[in-house]
Amino acid sequence: MLKKNSAPLSLALSATLAASLVMSTGCSNVFGRETPQRVASEKVLGSWKDNKLKQDILDFVQRVSNPKSKDFVPVEDRIAVFDNDGTLLCEKPAYFQVIFARDSAVARQKDHPEWSEDAAIKPFLTTEDSAIAGLRGKEATRLIAACQSELSAEELQPLAGQWLVDAKHKRFNRPYMQLKYEPMVELLTYLRANGFKTFICSGAGADFIRLYSNSAYGIPAEQVIGSSLKREFVVKDGKSVVVSRPVMHVYNVGPFKPIMIDEHIGKRPLIAVGNSDGDIEMLMYCTDRKGPSLGILLHHDDEVREYKYDTGAEKALQKASERGWKVVSIKDDFQNVFAAEQK
């Protein structure tokens, strides 16, 4: 969450991302919170190709939102959960949080001579993306923990916030936040316009995603569920503060996704959207719901406009065909992948 009235850094960031929000999600109601009053594109899901898959999604949403439908679902149960990296946002060459951690480590290495002796960090002290390509799980956590531990959410904000404004994705030469998938942003907006409450349930760190979730997707900080380091409540310079320690608390993938959804939301999602094997249990938990449900798996099969890879999604693709989850092809189902570049 961006705090509007704090430092100049975050003010600048806030203005930039707020502009992006207005342009892309059209998401604000009388209280500036979800449940948008209009859909951004004049055409519903305008960045999706007009085909059967799109129609199936539209039909499902109408069926569960229409009080006269036999599949009607009361508004309080209209919960949609989205994985983040690779589902709402490009995840190559690595999770953007990992790229931030790497950039941050490179920039701060002079203050941390011990890192050059640390096998878990040293290999990544280079701006060559190849060194961190595909880095995830425990290895990524070590790097992230080195950069983020001892920081409160309030201290992380200006550091990461400035990076989100300044840093650019090397292949696309655009700020990372401009590499969110426009069709997915439209889907979020469309769901909220139909009474859904939209959540992120990600394997990446909740703290980091919360810095941009509202601006980028219209999803407030408190609807972001993610991985976390161990937290501690301490008094620091006379003020109570919650800080992270360099120890993994929850690595929110696989079975931990439904567990964390149960902990945070307390009910099964009506719609779940993911893109990898780490989303299988979340999709099962959704589609094993009594009554209607919709599982969606995004397939990265467009090397021209984005990336093409099945690695880490082989089992999910298999399950999708067994269980009737909708497989969305970036190549065949997305009219646009990213929004037009914003200078």
What does the binding site for its own copies look like in residue numbers (CB under 8 A)?
1, 3-6, 29-33, 35, 73-77, 79, 153-154, 195, 197, 199, 206-207, 210, 214, 220-224, 228, 231-233, 239-242, 255-256, 258-259, 261-267, 281, 284-285, 288, 290-291
Q: How far is the CB of 32 from its own copies (least distance, A)?
A: 4
Q: How far is the CB of 3 from its own copies (least distance, A)?
A: 7
Comparing CB distances to its own copies, the nearer of 93 and 226 is 226
SS3 of 233, please?
Answer: strand
Comparing CB distances to its own copies, the nearer of 193 and 330 is 193
The 3-state secondary structure of 47-109, one letter per residue: CECCCHHHHHHHHHHHHHHCCCCCCCCCHHHCEEEECCECCCECCCCCCHHHHHHHHHHHHHH
Spatial contact of 302 and 330, defined as CB atoms under 8 Å apart? yes
Label the pairing between strands 174-175 and 168-169: antiparallel
Q: How far is the CB of 321 from its own copies (least distance, A)?
A: 18
196 is written with which tokens? 């859904």
Comparing CB distances to its own copies, the nearer of 131 and 265 is 265
Comparing CB distances to its own copies, the nearer of 179 and 191 is 191
Q: How far is the CB of 258 from its own copies (least distance, A)?
A: 5
| Dihedral of alpha carbons 219, 222, 225, 228, sign | positive
Comparing CB distances to its own copies, the nearer of 88 and 211 is 211
Q: Which of 253, 166, 176 is nearest to 216 (CA)?
A: 176
Q: How far is the CB of 104 from its own copies (least distance, A)?
A: 19
Comparing CB distances to its own copies, the nearer of 183 and 295 is 295
Max Cα distance, the chain (Å)? 66
Q: How far is the CB of 102 from its own copies (least distance, A)?
A: 23
